[in-house]
Amino acid sequence: MALTTLLCALVAAVSGVQAVTVYGQQPLVTSTTTSSAPGATYTGLAAYDPRILDPPPLPDPLPPNQFGIQLSASASNVQGLSIPLSGSFFGFSVEMSVVTQVSESVIHPPFLNLMALVAERAGRVLVRVGGNTQDTARMVQSLEDGKAIEKQQVDTNNPTQTPALLYTPEILYLLSNISSLVNVKWYLGIPLNDTSELHLEIVEWGERILGDNLLGFQVGNEPDLYQRHGHRQEGYGPFDYFGEFGQVRDAMQSMNVPATNNLIGPSLATGDWTPEDMWNTGFIQAYSDSLAALSVEHYPDDNCAALYEGFGQPVDPQAAFSRYLNHTAGSSIISIYMNSTNVAQQAGKQFIMFETNSASCGGFPGISTSFGAALWAIDYGLQMGYSNFSHALLHVGGQNVYYNPFTAPPTNESSYHQWTVGPIFYSVLAVAETLGSSNNSQIIDLQANGGNIFTPGYAVYENGNLARLALINFMTDPSGANDYTATIAVGGGESGQPNGTPAQLKVKYLRAPSVGDKWNVTWGGQSLGGQFEADGRLKGDLDIQTVQCDQGANTCQVKVPAPGFALVFMSDEAMQESEPASTATFATTVVTKAKNTVTIDPEVLATSNGHKGMKGRYGSTSAGSNAARRAVGAYPSAMALLAAVAGAAVIRRAIVRSV
């Protein structure tokens, strides 16, 4: 509420002109039909690909559909709990070229609403702005025509083809303006393409403008792929990155900036080097005083073959779907880091998955946009937490990728379309609620149901006490025969501990009819809407089920649908901490009404995907306003992280695994 008021006040006070209309309102072109017909081809924007996959066949043998979970009430009796985790475990990673694509505009209310949903559950939201683009990005004080961002030549050595870009401090003000509305904290990237002439303007201006809202600077991006992508000479190795990191550290220490202990590296794709190759250089010890966290970036697969020649046969999404739909999926992505999370812990550093999602090179049609991907992301995220990662940032691309947690409408359709929220956005909410907002949750993989990979479960201890369970059912069976019932017991029996089973539990479900489904996902009965339907607010009545326990028998029975995720609150306090009492919302009327909306020349936005900078041309159709006034309604200059996030260009991730 307060935020809404604030925003309205700002709009009224600052913009003067609130009316902006997007030109060129035309009927929806994007197909809304769904098809799983083999051979059906879709040629539109990836983010709106209608492909729906069939759920994989049921496993054979079927997992038992009844099993017990015996728990201790206190963490002190549990071996193998994770380090303390925060509800902001999952954050977002936004390619720099995307964020900066729309230089002057307004902060889209749907974006603020989505960030508010996470912040209310987690306390704050972490967003990284960086990626392949960061290495060749330069901050300059101004650009011609008042642009805030300008793209230059395309780097043909890099399969991700992220162009060099120039941007002004206005971009940092945009981020700062967002943080003044929602508790978003930022990671930025230091360019490392040319260490003979370092460019640390982003450090100077980033610290000055963002202050406490800045968490750290990533030094370079995926240096283990520099040589492969032609950015470094043959023979470039871990010691070379070690040296370059040192140059940045030294240069920063000679600058007059408040903080020099906020560097992050090595952000290996773990393609051409192992993390141990890096640790063995003495990296952590040498830079301990400067390092805020250790980072890696990884995807379980890539869709590069569908986009580029030389990568072999494209993956068939239907055939690959089952690889996301079991408990081995998440743990196998991070098995290469198990030593490193331990190394990081011993060094007293956070270990962060700085960029990840279902597949690099944009994800897979049908998979990345599915409810199955949401279940995969929950299990993967909780597995990372259990494995002592501190955070994981889900990559957000633009219209041209499949895996987006959220996507702004095509800019020429933004007047009559809302945003599109992908199923994995719900995973971010679910993980935030699973961990709560205390920063002091420890999680354990229960190896539930005899370690069956289709029915994984986790327990969360918060401030030392059993607080929540997270139970997943990866199967799809509309008959209900493969829903499972977990019989939960706290203490008692052979545990040697007193009966601790509560009188009742509360359960919140994430569900959809099938793992292939896209738009019928509900979280506690609420939905963010289907394609082009999201204003960033959960719609519908919150539905949290109550389960009466049998305290005499010391059991509570919780059913988990096939498919589905159940968040079990072991106490009312655990639920109250996870569930926001109220949700601050940002009025979407600011940008959607015929009056009081923002004018953006669609031609400008349509070309904002990489080839041209914003030309600063604004027009307005509203009474009493004119183009010269730059009526960027909702929030001056600050608007478009989202459009930016969405407006997007080719956000193709580098090939992160060895191919």
* Chosen residue from 76, 339, 447, 463 binding ligand NAG by CB under 6 A: 339
Report the C-alpha gap between 374 and 378 in whole angstroms: 6
Stretch that binds ligand NAG, among 172-180, 220-228, 544-552, 648-656 (CB under 6 A): 172-180
Q: Which residue in this structure is represented by tokens 């201890």?
A: 461
| Cα end-to-end span (Å), the chain | 50
CB 404 → ligand NAG: shortest distance, Å?
A: 17
For residue 554, with 0-12 CB atoms within 10 Å meaning exposed, 13-18 middle and 19 or more buried, which class applies? buried
Binding marks (x or -) toward ligand NAG, 83..102, rule CB under 6 A? x--x----------------
Cβ of 461: how many Cβ atoms within 10 Å? Answer: 26
Stretch that binds ligand NAG, among 238-246, 326-334, 427-435, 555-563 (CB under 6 A): 326-334
How many residues belong to the chain? 659
Q: What are the φ/ψ torsions at residue 277 (nearest 5 degrees)?
A: -55, -40
* Chosen residue from 21, 113, 193, 608 binding ligand NAG by CB under 6 A: 193
CB 557 → ligand NAG: shortest distance, Å?
A: 26
For position 261 contacting ligand NAG by CB under 6 A, the verdict is no
For position 227 contacting ligand NAG by CB under 6 A, the verdict is no
Which CB, 47 or 117, lies closer to ligand NAG? 47
Report the C-alpha gap between 643 and 645 in whole angstroms: 5
CB 554 → ligand NAG: shortest distance, Å?
A: 28
CB 284 → ligand NAG: shortest distance, Å?
A: 9
For position 637 contacting ligand NAG by CB under 6 A, the verdict is yes
Residue 453 in tokens? 């990979």
Report the C-alpha gap between 263 and 205 in whole angstroms: 15
CB 468 → ligand NAG: shortest distance, Å?
A: 16
For position 380 contacting ligand NAG by CB under 6 A, the verdict is no
Cβ of 274: how many Cβ atoms within 10 Å? Answer: 17
Element (H, E) at 176: helix 170-181
Nearest residue relative to ligand NAG (C-beta): 176
Report the C-alpha gap between 381 and 387 in whole angstroms: 10
CB 73 → ligand NAG: shortest distance, Å?
A: 19
- 3-state helix, strand, coil split of the chain in percent (to 5) is 30, 20, 50
Task: Describe the strand order of the beta sheet including 556-560 as a list of residue ranges.
Answer: 66-71, 484-490, 556-560
Residue 468, SS3 per DSSP = strand
Report the C-alpha gap between 243 and 237 in whole angstroms: 10
For 259-276, give the secondary structure using H, E and C: CCCCEEEEEECCCCCCHH
For position 513 contacting ligand NAG by CB under 6 A, the verdict is yes
Report the site for ligand NAG in 114-153 (rule: CB under 6 A).
123, 136, 138
CB 559 → ligand NAG: shortest distance, Å?
A: 19
Which CB, 387 or 599, lies closer to ligand NAG? 387
* Chosen residue from 4, 161, 322, 621 binding ligand NAG by CB under 6 A: 322
Count of residues that interact with ligand NAG, criterion CB under 6 A: 47
For position 326 contacting ligand NAG by CB under 6 A, the verdict is yes
Residue 365 in tokens? 């049609």
For position 176 contacting ligand NAG by CB under 6 A, the verdict is yes
For position 519 contacting ligand NAG by CB under 6 A, the verdict is yes
For position 194 contacting ligand NAG by CB under 6 A, the verdict is yes
11 contacts: CB under 8 Å, gap ≥ 6: 18, 590, 633, 634, 635
Stretch that binds ligand NAG, among 216-224, 324-332, 579-587, 614-622 (CB under 6 A): 324-332
Residue type, 500: G
Stretch that binds ligand NAG, among 340-348, 370-378, 503-511, 538-546 (CB under 6 A): 340-348
For position 413 contacting ligand NAG by CB under 6 A, the verdict is yes
Stretch that binds ligand NAG, among 285-293, 322-330, 371-379, 566-574 (CB under 6 A): 322-330
Element (H, E) at 487: strand 484-490
Stretch that binds ligand NAG, among 276-284, 359-367, 487-495, 538-546 (CB under 6 A): 276-284
401 contacts: CB under 8 Å, gap ≥ 6: 46, 47, 362, 363, 368, 651, 652
Strands 522-523 and 504-511: antiparallel
Which positions touch ligand NAG (CB under 6 A)?
Answer: 26, 29, 80, 82-83, 86, 123, 136, 138, 164, 170, 173, 176-177, 180, 193-194, 276, 279-280, 322-323, 326, 328-329, 332, 339, 342-343, 345, 386-388, 410, 412-413, 437-439, 513, 519-520, 530, 606, 636-638
